[in-house]
Structure 1
Amino acid sequence: MTHVDEHYEPERAGRLLRTERDALIPLLRAAPDEAYAIRTCCPGWTVRHVLAHCGSALTRVVESRFEEGVYSPESNDRDIAERADWSNSRVVDELERGMTEAGPVLAAARGRLDGVALGEWVHAGDVREAWGKPGAYGGDGLVDALDLLGQFSRSASSAAAPPLHADLDGRDEPLVLGTPDGTRPPARYIGDAPTLIRLCAGRPLQGTRYELAGATERELVLFG
């Protein structure tokens, strides 16, 4: 169950998906077929695998199909395998439909499914990273993504993560992750927002610069 605070915006997750849709889908449509075979930072997954996973995950949201074990590694692999004979264009079609139609379902769930939208946005960054495109883990959706990250960090699934105060470049107020429990002081991060996303998503950190005190990189991985 995701913690929902008094500042919760039910439209945020859907807005993040639509913002990312408008940026990502034209990039995918313009790419040659061979680009879909490029490996990503997700172990064993090409760009096509990532996109097939993203499209299937959103289709489950749109169709409210959440059988036992959904979104497990085994379930994800089955979803990808079911799309093995689809054209790349069809894979993108499904993704575009999901990014367009999932918003109302996410809003009605009142935060319980918002992690799906955040994961989709991070995977879009994985694709940009694999293709050497600018804007990985950033762009127009970053503000909503950071708010969802804060929300997700206070959910039951992230209870073991240490509290963190993140002083982000260009942001006046620190982003607070996790829930202080009195057992340890909050850790401190100083750096840019895309690098914080990389830390929390367990993505590669080569070429980044930041300061971290009071926690290890491994402790900050909330999802991956």
Structure 2
Amino acid sequence: MTLTDAYDVRDPELPGTLLAAERDALIPLLRSRPDADFALRTACPGWTVRDVLAHCGSALLRVVENRFERGVYSPESNDRDIAERADWPVSRIVDELEHGMTEAGPLIAKAGGVLDMIAVGEWVHAGDVREAFGEPGAYGGDRLAYALPLLARISREKDHVPLHADLDDRDEPLRFGGAPGDRPPARYLGDAATLIRLYSGRPLVGTRYELAGAGEKELNLFG
């Protein structure tokens, strides 16, 4: 079985592993920054670092508390969650996020796959925060080893645009998206962090890559 084939098999522990690894890297960084840094703008339109973290913490709390009312995770729902935390001190927002990143993994594992994308989204938002802070490794680093297989499998489950990715920083090509069918797989050549930017609709300024057979916007899995 190749690495790409292995990505087709769901590892229920992988989302929680990604969350825990990101927690151990992100939370100390957040606690080391002055409150003023949480007002910095991020790649998410209209959202500051504080807003991103409030959204991340509330999204995970919904998993922990099993609160999935109609319209959950819609733009309107996300804005309400952020507004509810507008008066919180930064330390409380970070505490909630740490709690969620610790407790949500086992519950995501038991959900059968329908919540796996939440773990990927949390990791991408951690990249948004790093980029806003000017920290290296946004959308990259050691956690790619967990994020890439999750993203590859989710993209296939969603029958997304088929893509063959030759990554500069990975030994083996990866397959994303659904079966090729009548459409030949698109091809990507570049680093993994830039591929994450494409799949999450993040800014591509300063990146270098080749993409043939698909448009940039077609790859965006986050809407």
Alignment TM class, shorter chain as reference: over 0.9
In 1, the alpha carbon distance for the partners of 2:217 and 2:162 equals 14
2:204 aligned residue = 205
Residue 5 of structure 1 and its aligned partner are, at CA, apart by 7.1
1:46 aligned residue = 48
1:173 aligned residue = 172
1:193 aligned residue = 192
Query: Paired residue for 1:95, among 78, 97, 112?
Result: 97
2:3 aligned residue = none
Q: Which amino acid aligns with 1:203?
A: R
Residue 32 of structure 1 and its aligned partner are, at CA, apart by 0.3
Are 1:222 and 2:207 an aligned pair?
Answer: no
Is the 2:7–2:152 contact (alpha carbons within 8 Å) kept by the matching residues of 1?
Answer: no
Aligned-residue CA RMSD (Å): 1.3
Q: Which runs of 4+ in 1 moved over 2 A?
A: 4-7
Is the 2:199–2:219 contact (alpha carbons within 8 Å) kept by the matching residues of 1?
Answer: yes
Q: Percent identity?
A: 71
Residue 181 of structure 1 and its aligned partner are, at CA, apart by 4.3
Query: Paired residue for 2:130, among 124, 128, 131?
Result: 128
Q: Within 5 Å, which residues of 2 pair with 1:17-166?
A: 17-156=19-158, 159=159, 161-166=160-165
Gaps of at least 5 residues in structure 2 are 1-5
Q: What SS does the aligned partner of 1:34 have?
A: helix
In 2, the alpha carbon distance for the partners of 1:181 and 1:214 equals 12
Q: What SS does the aligned partner of 2:210 have?
A: strand
The count of aligned residue pairs is 218
Residue 151 of structure 1 and its aligned partner are, at CA, apart by 1.5
Gaps of at least 5 residues in structure 1 are none
Q: Which amino acid aligns with 2:71?
A: G
Residue 140 of structure 1 and its aligned partner are, at CA, apart by 1.7
What CA deviation, in whole Å up to 9, does each residue of 1:121-173 have, x standing for no partner? 000000000110011001121111001111221233xx3x3200001113222
Q: Which amino acid aligns with 1:146?
A: L
User: Relative to 1, partners in 2 of residues 1:141 and 1:5: Cα closer, same or farther, differing over 3 Å?
Assistant: closer
In 1, the alpha carbon distance for the partners of 2:22 and 2:7 equals 24
In 2, the alpha carbon distance for the partners of 1:138 and 1:110 equals 26
